Structure 1
């Protein structure tokens, strides 16, 4: 059986990390699938999905790390007029940070429960907000 769900977030900041573990666990419970896998995927190219320990100090460290790797004031090629879009591309840092974090995660489901480490939580990462964002979830199993 395959169950597809999605949910929408309204992000509030240009860069932010939002815990979505509870939404994922809820989707698993509602699916009725006992054994299988769940794939969580962001539908946007300037956002990420990542798994880490949910500590405020670690969130801050990740934010500072990404800002050092992808500074706002670098002369990126993407920061120019895009004729195909009819506007200026002003979000190269969002694309690059999303490239670093990835846009998905996958977990096993055993006996109707999401199988993850005790310190693992799932984050939705906004790198070009605030915006309305959609996360899609595919649960595959029996």
Structure 2
């Protein structure tokens, strides 16, 4: 197993960052010829998703997620959390991450990550700006 982190410094509260090229480079670096690659975020207010890399589609996804988890809804999570000693102000981040998921998988065949022509890997920030870590896990032979 070959594991390599990607550190991302997000700039805004909500953003989508392409990771496809970085993941492909890590797969090549791993030396695995046949296997699987998993991309996994380590944070509960971020997501990893696969979609077509089009600016207009990114905008549509952001609008869709905002409609699904509006900022002005009276969420139960938006309250004082004794364990943290502060008020939770990020319920929409958790819900958007729940919708997008926290990982994706792709097969590796003959040393190449196999994906559809329009499939790109996105890291999604829903509670930024922040320093984030994504793990790229390559398994195989």
TM-score, normalised to structure 2's length?
Answer: 0.99
Q: Secondary structure at the match of 1:66?
A: helix
Q: Secondary structure at the match of 2:27?
A: helix
Within 5 Å, give how 1:50-65 maps onto structure 2. Answer: 50-65=49-64
> Structure 2: which 5+ residue stretches go unaligned?
none
Q: Secondary structure at the match of 1:140?
A: strand
Match of residue 139 from structure 1? 138
- Tell me which stretches of 4 or more aligned residues in structure 1 moved more than 2 Å: none
CA distance in 2, matches of 1:7, 1:47: 14
Note the C-alpha offset of 1:137: 1.1
Within 5 Å, give how 1:1-142 maps onto structure 2. Answer: 2-142=1-141
Over the aligned positions, Cα root-mean-square deviation in angstroms equals 0.4
> Structure 1: which 5+ residue stretches go unaligned?
none
Q: Secondary structure at the match of 2:83?
A: coil
Note the C-alpha offset of 1:7: 1.2
Note the C-alpha offset of 1:64: 0.3
Number of residues paired by the alignment?
141
Q: Secondary structure at the match of 1:23?
A: helix
| CA deviation map 1:72-94 (0-9, x unaligned) | 00000000000011011000000
| CA deviation map 1:14-39 (0-9, x unaligned) | 00000000110000000000000001
